[in-house]
Amino acid sequence: MGEIFSSRRRIFLLIFHTEVDILPYMEEKPVTNSAGRKVLARLARLGPFLPATLTVTHSRCGNPRCRCVREGPIHETALLTWKEEGKTHTLHVPCELRQEVAHWIGEWRRLKKLIEAMAAAQRQFLQTRKQSTRKSSRPS
Ligand SMILES: [Zn+2]
């Protein structure tokens, strides 16, 4: 019984100290505006991302007895393409992983939009900060 009490007390103290520690940060000058805070919240919810392109093409498998020899490129092939130091790389993506990989690429596109939105928010924030600094430093 005594042990339970002391562990509860420890938890209470932990919560109490956390709240006390957070207070000074909340009173600090803002580092972004409401648009910036929205971008940061969306960034935190972002899933794994992959900067690449997924292309579905048709190919021949190379088996001389396959019907693709007569019928042409009938085998659906998904290729992941990306650039590294100016060189294009490709990787075959199996059918069962195609949707998942496409989702990673979608997250990458969302990240790029968030980067642009953050840049716009910070430029706007800088403008308002400059104006408020000018106002406060002006002799009255
Ligand atoms: Zn074939």
pLDDT digits over 34-86, tens only?
A: 999 999 999 999 999 999 999 999 999 999 999 999 999 999 999 999 999 99
Per the DSSP assignment, residues forming a β-bridge with 57 are 77
Per the DSSP assignment, residues forming a β-bridge with 59 are 75
The SS3 assignment for 89 reads strand
- Kindly indicate the confidence band of residue 18, based on its pLDDT and cuts at 50, 70 and 90: low
Q: Residue 9 Cα, ligand 1 centroid: separation in angstroms?
A: 70
Contact 60, 69 (CB under 8 A): yes
Q: Residue 140 Cα, ligand 1 centroid: separation in angstroms?
A: 83
Q: Residue 97 Cα, ligand 1 centroid: separation in angstroms?
A: 21
pTM for this predicted structure: 0.69
Q: Residue 67 Cα, ligand 1 centroid: separation in angstroms?
A: 6
**Order of strands, edge to edge, in the sheet holding 87-93?**
53-59, 75-84, 87-93
- The pocket of ion ligand 1, defined by CB under 5 A, consists of 61, 66, 68
% of the chain exceeding 70 in pLDDT: 78
Q: How many beta carbons lie within 10 A of that of residue 87, not counting itself? A: 7
- Kindly indicate the confidence band of residue 2, based on its pLDDT and cuts at 50, 70 and 90: very low
